[in-house]
Amino acid sequence: MRRQILKNLFSNYIGTFAAMTLGFFLVPFLIRKLGKDGFGLTVLAESLIGFMQIFIYSVRVAMARYATVSISQGKKDEFLEYLSTGYRILSQFMILTLAAGLIVSYFFPSIFNVPILFYQQTRWLFFFIMIAFVVSMPNIVYWAILYAQQRFDLINISNFGGVIMRALMVFALFSFLPARYVNLVTYGVVYLLMILAENYFVFLWARKIMPGLTLAKGVYHKGKAKEIISYGGYSSFGAISTVIYENGMNIIINIFMGPAANAVYAISMKVPSLIKRLFLEPTWSLTPTFVNLVATGDKSKLERFFIMYSKGIAMFLFPLSYLMIHFSKDFIHLWVGAEFEQAPLIMSILVAAVALSMFTYFCSIIIGAYGMIRIPTLVGLGLAIANLGLGMLLGLVFKWGIEGIAVAALLISIIGSMIFLPTYTCRIAGISLWKFWREALLKPFFLTAMLFGCAVVLKGHTLYLMISFILAVILWGYWVCSYRFLFNDEEKNNIKDAFRDFFVKASVVVA
């Protein structure tokens, strides 16, 4: 299991880093080709599709959980029943999603106050993005197979293949096509092709790791359907919360402030979103591992992994977030130019929100593993709605603008992720809350403050390059001190064993 966990983590980090690198070049390229308004509309369309994904996401989560538990307990017949029933549910909802998507596509320009120049383009843009989502729905069954087998490395390869494909096609088409074809419609076609490629890869990998697997696609087990829909129903509240929190403001900004303001907010969110992906997706890849520990009743190992991984995330997350806040203005100017003058401050606020919430993401995984999701999803939905309301209050009523929307996100993150989630998780898992706070938050936070505090004092009194050099040295010293003082002997041995297994396997592959 340890080798597979390491493969999942490393493939996620490598894929995320590659996506970040491609995005660094792709975003300013799209802004130059489509303009600030055009880029803002692509953000709007992709944000809107998130609301259509809510129920399907909940079914996917439920299928994956029950399939993982079944396969962990050696119940292959039950495993197939869950997959076949889930396939039937997804097939039925394809028709409803398609009908709703066609209606939204036609009225898209009127609903979202689109500039007249982009009227027809946005209709086709959303149509292609919606079709991409619809055709991918049945493939969720094969995604669940990889999930249950803990093969997130294969999921990562599939996703990364799609990311590379989209980037290369956008660069090529928007560079060599006649100017009249460099528009939102072409972007929508590229998006559709990317999703088709990703899902085809997932399908191939699933068939490869479980050869001969036959899904009885006509089977509909009422008991299994009830479990999937019941668990998925509460999961949908979590999905609604995430979509409202992450995408709701893009829609509000576009309606009340216009697509140009939406582009500014989207640029400000890129780095926080990438940091979130950098830590969230590898963490998410460990979900079936924690489900397996809960299913087998190994609570001591679950607590050990929970504390160790949360501490490890904080150890890397806190200094990285500090550096991005420290250099936010320089980064934005280098990346997209000085015309996005609001973006550095907004980005700094959103990075702080991510830093104060992401190290607790394992809490959500453990809550899901225990199946105790009713209260957290309801609380999460309430906080997401509160974030929307507070953002509109600060941004529109008090006229703080986009900065007020970012402050609302920071405040809600503190309440939900730093206070509620750890308290609830430690209670249901029988873990000391003080131990979690001490190991996963207080020690990494104060170590970061001590080692990076001198950089704040030095800023403005030394040359820029000297500051950068000092920060690099401090960062290395921080990680050395973190390993030395934050991890106990057992955790250090686990880390050493994991890296030893990885490099031994890597040397065999190279040889």
Residue 219's pLDDT is what? 64
- Quote the domain boundaries for residue 187: 2-510
Amino acid 505: pLDDT? 41
Question: Distance of CA 69 to CAs 140, 289, 467, 510, Å?
Answer: 17, 10, 51, 35
Mean pLDDT to the nearest integer, 31-53? 83
- pLDDT at residue number 510: 32
Q: What average pLDDT score do residues 58-76 get? A: 73
Comparing C-alpha atoms, which of 507, 308, 370 is closest to residue 65? 370
Q: What is the mean pLDDT of the segment spanning 56-77?
A: 73
Work out the angle between the directed axes of helices 299-326 and 259-284 (0-180°, nearest 10): 150
Q: Which residue has the higher pLDDT, 292 or 264?
A: 264
Whole-number Å distance between alpha carbons of 133 and 264: 26
For the residues 341-354, what does the mean pLDDT come to? 88
The number of beta carbons lying within 10 Å of the beta carbon of residue 244 is 22
Distance, in Å, from the CA atom of 59 to the CA atom of 82, rounded to the nearest integer, reads 11
pLDDT at residue 124 greater than cutoff 90: yes
**CA 395/CA 272 separation, integer angstroms:** 20
Residues 6+ positions from 96 with CB-CB distance below 8 Å: none
pLDDT in tens, 444-468: 888 777 766 655 555 544 444 455 5
- Looking at residues 289-297, what average pLDDT do you find? 78
Query: CA-CA distance, 264 to 192, in Å (whole number)?
Result: 25
Residue 325 has pLDDT above 50, yes or no: yes
- pLDDT of the residue at 463: 46
Buried b (16+ CB within 10 A) or exposed e, 186-214: bbbbbbbbbbbbbbebbbebbeeebeeee
**Does residue 200 or residue 381 have the better pLDDT?**
200
Q: What CA–CA distance (Å, rounded) separates 505 from 75?
A: 31
Query: Which carries the bigger pLDDT value, residue 213 or residue 326?
Result: 326
Q: Indicate whether 511 pLDDT > 60.
A: no
* Per-residue pLDDT tens digits for 80-104: 777 778 788 787 788 888 888 899 8
Q: Kindly tell me if the per-residue pLDDT of 318 is higher than 60.
A: yes
Residue 127 pLDDT: 94
Q: pTM (2 decimals)? A: 0.65
Least confident of 7-16, 60-69, 401-410: 7-16
Provide the pLDDT for residue 211.
74
What would the pLDDT profile of 167-208 be if each residue is shown by its tens digit?
889 999 999 999 888 999 999 999 999 989 888 888 888 888
Q: Please report which confidence band the pLDDT of residue 116 belongs to, taking 50, 70 and 90 as the band edges.
A: confident
The C-alpha atoms of residue 26 and residue 434 are separated, in whole angstroms, by 44
Please state which of the ranges 281-295, 363-377, 383-397 shows the lowest mean pLDDT: 281-295
* Average of per-residue pLDDT across 252-268: 83
What local confidence, expressed as pLDDT, does residue 43 receive? Answer: 83
Average pLDDT, the chain: 78
Confidence of residue 13 (pLDDT cuts 50, 70, 90): low
The reported pLDDT for the residue numbered 424 is 92
Region 122-137: mean pLDDT is: 91
Q: Which pLDDT value is given to residue 457?
A: 53
- Total domains present in the chain: 1
| Burial track 140-170 (b if 16+ CB lie within 10 A, e otherwise) | bbbbbbbbbbbbbbbbbbbbbbbbbbbbebb
pLDDT score of 125 more than 90: yes
Using alpha carbons only, what angle is made at residue 235 by residues 234 and 238, rounded to the nearest 5 degrees? 100
pLDDT band for 9, please (50, 70, 90 cuts).
low
Q: Residue length, the chain?
A: 511
C-beta contacts of 123-126 below 8 A and 24+ residues apart = 124/184, 124/185, 124/188, 125/41, 125/42, 125/45, 125/184, 125/185, 125/187, 125/188, 126/45, 126/48, 126/49, 126/101, 126/188
Predicted confidence at residue 172, as pLDDT, reads: 92
Report pLDDT for 303: 84
